[in-house]
A and B are shown apart, each in its own frame.
Chain A
């Protein structure tokens, strides 16, 4: 990254979504599905995969068609493209995993209104080549999936003492029911953001210290 600081490579675009520009922890986007479906790790993973499919598919299409989309109506075009992919994902899931489809309920069609996806089309896919758009979409979607999984597993472990339905602790564990209820979602995400901020802050302090030492040596 240091050598290409002003012209990022495709690899950088892939990596930035995972940590530096993580859609959830840094940009705080796409919160509705984030909190609503993460009461178990399994739901979180299914939701993550569906979002991954929609984001990658629509980024690909938007960047391939970017020269033909008229500017004044671009948002409507993006929304229709996204809605098409969401419908495909919705019905595929209904056919393959009916139980999970029922569990996620209205939140599958609601991927359309996930501002993270529309945001990537407007901010990135509409301005870059297919290759870069694909890398960016994969990175962002993986970052989103990572965050979903982190939230879902924390809530399931604390709220039910299980992970993917397997009991982790003995019979003595008293589940924190609040964690799988709505307030638990807000609190867990708040605390995850706190940890994220703390790590970033520590890193910044460490880098500042190193720079100071180097300046002192000279």
Chain B
């Protein structure tokens, strides 16, 4: 149990996917202008990422490895992710119109979120087991959502601040992200490895 808790803390805080591993930066910059959209994106990503890391583990373990098709891994994983996203969209659409309204527009965007593919690839590289893969996926998504929401809150303040003209837009956002990343380096000693 302690092992899974360590994976969780390490992916959420120490090796945060956005600020330390540089995965999932496009949505981090793209949908962080408003707190509400950031929350929606965070929820949708958490759901899809956990599910897709489980599915890609299963595909890798029971389909690619026995058949000796590891060289197809990139293509197979991206297809798995696309299917999971499509499937999630259909299920949410059928079961909960309210949730669909909140998450609907974000779901297609997740296919090109490199954090999702990154988690699947890192799971096979570090040879995680079934539960470890699921916890790793969930931790990565939780870390992504947390940072996204924090960043959105900051950007809402920046939007009303008096920023010099040439600094406006992505430039000031990146510098802010740099400062956040520096703050997250403080967690570095928390978990070894």
CB-CB contacts of B68-81 with A at 8 A, as 1s and 0s?
Answer: 00011111001100
A106 contacts B125, C-beta separation under 8 Å? yes
Best-buried of B29, B121, B178, B182 by chain A (most CB within 10 Å): B178
Residue in B112, B122, B185 whose CB lies within 8 Å of A113: B112
How does the 8 Å CB contact mask read for B149-193 relative to A, with 1 for contact and 0 for none? 000000000000000011111111111011101100100000000
B23: interface (CB < 8 Å): yes
A178 close to B122 (CB less than 8 A): no
A202 nearest in chain B by CB position? B166
Q: A115-B26, A194-B166, A198-B166 are in contact. Are A84 and B75 (CB under 8 A)?
A: yes
Q: How many chain-B residues does the 8 Å CB contact rule pick out?
A: 44
Report the separation of the CA atoms of residues A37 and B95 in the bound assembly, to the nearest whole angstrom: 42
Measured between beta carbons, the chain A residues less than 8 angstroms from B74 are: 83, 86-87, 90, 109, 112
The A contact surface, by secondary structure, is helix
Contacting pair A79 B82 (CB below 8 A): yes
Q: Which residues of B contact A197 (CB under 8 A)?
A: 165-169, 171
Compute how far the CA of A193 lies from the CA of B111 in the bound complex, rounded to whole angstroms: 27
Bound Cα distance A31, B125 (Å): 23
| B-facing residues in A177-215 (Cβ within 8 Å) | 178, 181-187, 189-191, 193-194, 197-198, 201
Whether B75 contacts A182 by the Cβ 8 Å rule is no
> A106-B121, A190-B178, A197-B171 known; A182 and B20 CB under 8 Å?
yes
Q: A83-B78, A87-B71, A110-B117 are in contact. Are A201 and B25 (CB under 8 A)?
A: no
Q: Using Cβ atoms and an 8 Å threshold, which residues of chain A touch B181? A: 182-183, 186
Residues of A within 8 A of B112 (CB): 113, 115, 118
When C-beta atoms are compared, the residue in chain A nearest to B121 turns out to be A106
Q: List chain B residues, Cβ under 8 A from A84.
A: 75
Write the nearest CB–CB distance from B54 to chain A, whole angstroms. 19
Distance between Cα atoms of A10 and B115 in the complex (Å): 35
| CB within 8 Å for A113 and B114 given contacts A79-B82, A193-B171 | yes
A100 adjacent to chain B (CB < 8 Å): no
Question: How many residues in A have their beta carbons less than 8 Å from beta carbons of B?
Answer: 43
Render B108-127 as a binary contact track against A, CB cut-off 8 A, 1 for contact.
00011110111001100100
* C-alpha gap A91/B178 in the complex (Å): 33
Given A112-B74, A178-B182, A182-B22, also A31-B29 (CB < 8 A):
yes
Flag A70-108 by CB within 8 Å of B: 1 or 0 each.
Answer: 000001100110011011001100000000000001100
Residues of B within 8 A of A34 (CB): 25
Contact B174 A189 (CB under 8 A): yes
Q: When A and B form their complex, which 8 residue pairs have the shortest distance between CB atoms, in order from nearest?
A: A186-B178, A190-B174, A113-B114, A36-B22, A187-B178, A190-B175, A31-B25, A193-B171
Q: Which positions in B face A, CB cutoff 8 Å?
A: 19-26, 29, 71-75, 78-79, 82, 111-114, 116-118, 121-122, 125, 165-175, 177-179, 181-182, 185
Q: 11 extra interchain contacts, Cβ-Cβ under 8 A, other than A32-B24, A106-B122, A182-B181?
A: A87-B72, A106-B121, A109-B121, A113-B78, A183-B179, A183-B181, A190-B170, A190-B173, A190-B174, A190-B177, A194-B166
12 intermolecular pairs with C-beta atoms under 8 Å apart = A32-B22, A80-B75, A91-B71, A112-B74, A118-B112, A178-B182, A186-B177, A186-B181, A189-B174, A190-B173, A191-B175, A197-B169
